[in-house]
Chain A
């Protein structure tokens, strides 16, 4: 094998999805005048925020070579738990937030624990947790939506700061923290190593179990953040909320270039993936395309993104 020189910034293939995203935005800006307005962009940002939070979480998981199917159910459980403590004049705002995050921590930690101790594939374990979580949400809420939430709690999903919707602020902060964890910390580096070649990571003295525990726990926490945001936005703790969210999140990560075989992926890619999904469903709304067609379009985009990505990789090799 001779030495091949890979320019570190191989433009088009590496940032293909980014260019595709820009192109779609430009086309939309010209074709529908309503698209490129501040209010519409804010709507897109708000709509994207929950999916993006979940997608960040699942990006960590997929980079280590795992998968998490329980995101949607975790959204429901954590949302219900937060709502239980969010009635007006009961507890201070910190309590529902911490309760929701705590529930996410426990569920994510449970995933991590079972996956690392039992060696059962993450697909199966989180499939189980998905059902368990849905059941727990129904048990805790007695099957009924929990409404009558405090104004301060409803601010999380519905409020503005200087005209910027609060969910967008949470999204930006979460993105920054996740990107830093992945790129700048030892934990982030270890995630890539575990997903890239687990036996070699272990032989390099990496505590693989610990890394996986972290990853599933972080994923649970981000799902909880999504759950709190959703509950606040719809001002109800809905036990049936979040069904199918995991698939949108996984789709965002994959469109953003995260490989399901582990070892590669970026937070920026996932963010763009989530934005792309948001922009397309928004624009199809603006263009009055029925939601039935939207699903077909979305599916084509997911497959197309991965086909283009693997074609790009082949071209590089």
Chain B
């Protein structure tokens, strides 16, 4: 109640300032656009950040948040649009310049050097500034000054971390505090925090929030990115929503509630992109019972039938990929059972999984999908090479024949079978990886973010392909962060939240709002 009153008062104050021409915006973004090879990642983005506010940035995965952040800190150059910072036009194409000008970012992955001390990390790259010497001796390290200044920063933040402690001995939350100290030691006026609570406990979140509040009191503005609704409402003053690279709107936190915010984030129509489901399923091909892996997910149970597409939805870090990895034998489960065609199986390696008829197309094509130095042909036959054996040798003719057929079937755009995969577009690389898994003739196929980094046209083709696979009697599991895709493709939808199964919805009952509700439950 008090909070609301305070915010309303603050709102009046702002209205007053704005009316009288005393704009208190520190950072204003107008009509910002950025395209990647014809695909608009940011489309006329508007953003306004006031002095001393916590401004949450919301949107589904792929909404353009991270592209936006990267343009703010100078990692990407926008195609058009304007950024005004401290009343001046701001054009930085260089991260260290951005830092010096007063914008800091705390990344989701904490970037520290574990063997150095807290103070050494805070002043990394700026040792000369704290050396207290000039000229020839400015390169002389001054640990005393560094420790003292780091100690002052810690005090300012109200945290108790010794500046002399080695980074590697700190907890994740403490490392984050050091990152924040580093950010404000740059005299930052704007601090961007990308999912700062993804790796810390509730108690540590409370400390983080009290630091954020004290920063706000001292006039620092914070752009706060998180998927966690409760946090957003607890900490932020205003919320801006992006969707598909477009600016949807900015509202004060008191104007919104969970449901209206979700509606803003997902409120799009599902277009006619998704081919009809056959609704004609065969026998059960895969069943998972009480599958658990410590620190990743627990008590997951589901079945998939021949011809069925099971969608797995959930936010990043909900445990979706981790489940797929266990079923495919990349990781070991701690408990639970996996049944393939009714038989209990121990799947302890991908080789074993492929032999049981389980195929997996990873979300991370570059890491787990293809071999960059190899051609389309060599990649596409890699999981089924023994089928092209001629005595001791590889039968290259049959290999080429199979590859050409797959290139035609999947409409892979390549100059030929000998083209290197690394030179193909994202969508075509994805098709090569799918082709590779298909040639291993799986009965069950797990597609993890099958359309990530793929442009719209190729997306549609991949959807058609998925439906075709299902119709041919394969059981398909599709993991996706894109709700329209999950809704459009799945016959049933498993929703996960923080490693737990929160719903198993039928196609009929599922809506974006309902999935989102269970995903944040």
Contacts and interface: CB of A to CB of B under 8 A. Distances in A.
B444 to A, nearest CB: 14
Given A2-B37, A3-B414, A3-B415, A203 B362 contact: yes
A6 interface: yes
Nearest to B351: A205
Contacts of B440: 205
A189 B383 contact: no
Contacts of A264: 373
Contact of B371 (A1, A3, A263): A263
A200 B367 contact: yes
Contacts of A1: 37, 423-426
Select the residue from A190, A196, A263 with max chain B CB neighbours within 10 A.
Answer: A196
Nearest to A181: B392
Contacts of A2: 37, 425
Contact of B350 (A3, A186, A205, A263): A205
Interface residues of B, number: 41
Interface in A220-271: 263-264
Interface in A169-185: 180, 184-185
A290 interface: no
Nearest to A264: B373
B383 to A, nearest CB: 4
Contact of B351 (A186, A196, A207): A207
B399 to A, nearest CB: 10
B360 interface: yes
A205 B393 contact: no
Contact of A189 (B328, B353, B360, B378): B378
Interface in B381-398: 382-383, 385-386, 389, 392-394
A196 B424 CA distance: 17
A114 interface: no
B47 interface: no
Contacts of B360: 203
A200 B368 contact: yes
Given A3-B425, A205-B351, A193 B419 contact: no
A204 B436 contact: yes
B55 interface: no
Contacts of B239: none
A185 B393 contact: yes
A202 interface: yes
B350 A204 contact: yes
A185 B367 contact: no
Contacts of B368: 199-200, 203
Select the residue from B328, B370, B413 with max chain A CB neighbours within 10 A.
Answer: B370
B382 A204 contact: yes
A276 B354 CA distance: 45
A192 interface: yes
B372 A197 contact: yes
A197 B135 CA distance: 48
Nearest to B415: A5
Contacts of B392: 185
B280 interface: no
Contacts of A4: 423
A42 interface: no
B374 interface: yes
A203 B379 CA distance: 12
Contacts of B370: 197, 200
A200 B330 CA distance: 11
B484 to A, nearest CB: 25
B283 interface: no
Contacts of B386: 186
A197 B371 contact: yes
Given A193-B374, A197-B372, A264-B373, A204 B415 contact: no
A206 interface: yes
A113 interface: no
Interface string B394-414: 100000000000000000011
A5 to B, nearest CB: 5
Contacts of B393: 180, 184-185
Given A3-B425, A5-B415, A185-B394, A196 B371 contact: yes
Given A6-B420, A203-B360, A196 B374 contact: yes
Contacts of A207: 349, 351
Nearest to A5: B415
A192 B374 contact: yes
B353 to A, nearest CB: 8
A205 to B, nearest CB: 4
B281 to A, nearest CB: 27
Nearest to A183: B394
B369 A200 contact: yes
A184 B378 CA distance: 12
A93 interface: no
B418 interface: yes
A189 B415 CA distance: 22
A201 interface: yes
Select the residue from A5, A180, A190, A204 with max chain B CB neighbours within 10 A.
Answer: A204
Contacts of B354: 205
Given A2-B425, A192-B378, A196-B372, A184 B394 contact: yes
A192 B425 contact: no
Contact of A192 (B371, B389, B424): B371
B352 to A, nearest CB: 8
Contacts of B367: 197, 199-200
A33 interface: no
A3 B413 contact: yes
Contacts of A5: 415, 419, 423
A2 B423 CA distance: 8
A199 B383 CA distance: 13
Contacts of A315: none
A163 interface: no
Given A1-B37, A189-B385, A201 B394 contact: no
Interface string B337-373: 0000000000001110111000010100001111111
B425 A204 contact: no
Interface in A141-191: 180, 184-186, 189-190
Contacts of B371: 192-193, 196-197, 200-201, 263
Select the residue from A8, A189, A201, A203 with max chain B CB neighbours within 10 A.
Answer: A203
B363 to A, nearest CB: 12
Contact of B383 (A192, A196, A205): A205
A220 B382 CA distance: 27
Contacts of B418: 8
A1 to B, nearest CB: 5
Given A193-B371, A197-B372, A205-B351, 7 more contacts: A1-B37, A1-B426, A3-B419, A8-B418, A192-B374, A196-B373, A204-B350
Q: 9 shortest A-B CB distances, which residue pairs? A: A196-B371, A205-B354, A263-B373, A204-B383, A205-B351, A204-B382, A196-B373, A184-B393, A5-B415
28 contacts: A1-B37, A1-B425, A1-B426, A2-B37, A6-B415, A6-B419, A6-B420, A8-B418, A185-B392, A186-B386, A189-B378, A192-B378, A193-B374, A197-B367, A197-B370, A197-B371, A197-B372, A199-B368, A200-B370, A200-B371, A201-B371, A203-B328, A204-B436, A205-B353, A205-B440, A206-B351, A206-B382, A263-B371
